[in-house]
Amino acid sequence: MSSAVKNILASFSTTPNDKKHFPATNQAHYCWQRYNEFVLCLKKSEGDAEACAPARHLAISLCPEDWINNWDEQRENGNFLGVQEKAAAADDHHH
C-alpha cells in the first residue's frame, strides 16, 4: 500500500457504527455502493485483497458486520447479486 493511501486512511474517520439504528439512517445505498466498489477492485486487480484493503475498509466503516459477512458468503457461493468478480459462464441458450 502506498504511503499516500496510508496517509489518507490514517486521517479518514467515519460515524461510529450504529447497528441498532443503521437501517433507518438512509446509509444502505452508500453501504451497497462501497461494497461493490471493493468487489470491483478485486475484479480489476485479479483478486489482490491487499491492493483492495482501502476499499474494503470503507465498506466496513459504513455497513453492518452481518451484511458484509452475508455478501462475502454470497460471493464465495457464486450467488452475490452485485458486481461479479469473474465473468459469467456463457449461457447455453444463446448460440
For residue range 54-68, list pLDDT tens digits in order. Answer: 999 999 999 999 999
Pinpoint the alpha helices (H) of 12-95.
28-44, 53-62, 65-77
Packed helices 65-77 and 53-62: angle between N→C axes, nearest 10 degrees: 130
For residue range 10-69, list pLDDT tens digits in order. Answer: 666 666 655 555 555 678 889 999 999 999 999 999 999 999 999 999 999 999 999 999
Please count the other Cβ atoms lying within 10 Å of the Cβ belonging to residue 33: 14
Cβ(55)–Cβ(34) under 8 Å?
yes
- Per the document, the length of the chain is 95
93 pLDDT band, cuts 50/70/90, is: very low
